[in-house]
Structure 1
């Protein structure tokens, strides 16, 4: 877990930052679920109305989404608008909110959360994005062999010592007592963080595994 260490003290990116800057909901159900036996071609056809010729494991090219789903016009049917909205959201997720090293692939599991937009709006997408950000920052520190510090999460004046952020199989645990000064509170001596090294290596980002 990582925190930025500045001259003024420790500072971290919080759910409040995600909510205010990106407009994503931070309350609601965790974005998780089982995708072990999904037929991605069938999922793609059912929710987008067409199937890409180049599904890479369980991911799809965002370039194909852009070329296949032009912006709807006044003559577009309601179904065409819904499919365009799903394709557009996939591009936002893969290209901006939760991108990976490919820069042009997005996991089709996100489609499973876009079956009903009303239900999709009840998920805590802000927590999902923040969990991904923390995981990527952790990976960057290992890649660069440099320690940034500890990221901690504070939800207002939350008293719990640990806060879980969930993104499918990714779970990031954070202490809420590290950056109290950032919110104008008195900084107490923080407790020792829980060691989750073995679980921290688990995610769903391999091409052919869930």
Structure 2
């Protein structure tokens, strides 16, 4: 079923082309399916910075200096888009502000991007939480 979504996705219009017309995933779909906020502050990521990322890994995830160095080396060399970017930790430093972000907007933008990439001719995989597509009433 999910592969059918990929085949029918048109990245220029961000819509599924189905025999009876076009359909898309909206912020309302995200909000009602996932129950996460679609209004609030934008989830804007800052540029990756190894010093800041090192600090985030050590202070917020509790890894040792050696583990952080190893993880950053692997992260920089092998980042494939299938892992969560470390820069998201910056948004989680102050947990009191987390609910004020528009996480639904970010999720939808990410899904659109991944569907656009997966709809290309030779692509055989997609990153992200594809199970969400099953929750939609398209």
TM-score by length of 2: 0.64
Structure 1 residue 28 corresponds to structure 2 residue 6: no
Cα deviation 1:1-55 (Å, max 9, x = unaligned) = 3211223321111111111111111000111142343522211111122243531
Structure 2 SS opposite 1:4? strand
- The structure with the greater share of residues assigned to strand is 1
Q: Which moved more, 1:2-11 or 1:132-141?
A: 2-11
What is the aligned-residue RMSD (CA, Å)?
2.6
Structure 1: segments with no counterpart, 5+ residues: 61-99, 146-210
**Greater RCO, 1 or 2 (C-alpha within 8 Å, sep 6+):** 2
Structure exhibiting the larger radius of gyration computed from Cα positions: 1
The structure-2 alpha-carbon separation of the partners of 1:59 and 1:25, relative to structure 1 and needing over 3 Å to count, comes to: farther
Bigger helix share: 2
**How many residues are treated as equivalent by the alignment?**
105
CA distance, structure 2, for counterparts of residue 29 and residue 115 of structure 1: 15
SS in 2 for 1:21: helix
CA gap of 1:132–1:37, structure 2 versus 1, over 3 A, is same
Q: Distance in 2 between matches of 1:43 and 1:130?
A: 26
Equivalent position of 1:131 in the other structure: 109
Counterpart residue number, 2:96: 118
Match of 2:85 among 100, 103, 107: 107
Q: TM-score, length-normalised on structure 1? A: 0.44
